[in-house]
Amino acid sequence: MVCSRKRSFPDEDTAALEELGERLRAELRPVGELEGMLVDRIIAAYWRLRRLGRVEAGIFAWELYGELAARARQEARTYERQERVDDDIRRLYLPTTKITNEKKHRDALSKAKEMESMRDAETATLGKTFIRDSEKVNAFSKLSRYETAIERSLYKALHELQRLQAGRNSEGDVPPPAVVDVEVSGL
């Protein structure tokens, strides 16, 4: 499936997407261009729903590792002491910060760098991207709405496919099932 590259992120497994497409096509058995297009929509929606789990984990990871890194840096600062230097020239060229416990300071900075590295990893970066797109305003709420829209699209395509297949398979003996679109938006 050539279009799998268009549906996946650079770090996603396109082979898994192609395998999913093959399994769903075998299960749904589309006939004709229209049914094939509906199955393509089902595959895309299903893949996007799977991705949302990674996005949610990424949001948590970004926030968690960012907080842990900040705490480690704060701990490192507890082992620093600012010395008073009256001479402006000496203040420019000599360090005014003294470390009170080298090992604990080094360990805390090492922990901060480790947490920052985890925060900057692939999954957390995916979460950060979603947070930034959400303009830092309740990313989880936006993620939930996004998930609902994708699910609605998936089920709409699936129901339309089932309606077309029922009409094709009945050969005129049985009318295809009625389609009822239900919109639950609260508006």
- pLDDT bin (cut points 50, 70, 90) of residue 4 is very low
Across the chain, mean pLDDT equals 83
Tokens of 23: 């399994």
What would the pLDDT profile of 28-83 be if each residue is shown by its tens digit?
Answer: 999 999 999 999 999 999 999 998 988 889 888 988 999 999 999 999 999 988 77
Mean pLDDT of 91-112: 85
Mean pLDDT of 166-186: 64
With contact defined as beta carbons under 8 Å apart, do 84 and 97 qualify? Answer: no
Q: Please give the pLDDT value at position 153.
A: 95
- pLDDT bin (cut points 50, 70, 90) of residue 123 is confident
Q: Please give the pLDDT value at position 139.
A: 83
Tokens of 105: 């300071």
| pTM: predicted TM-score of the whole model, two decimal places | 0.64
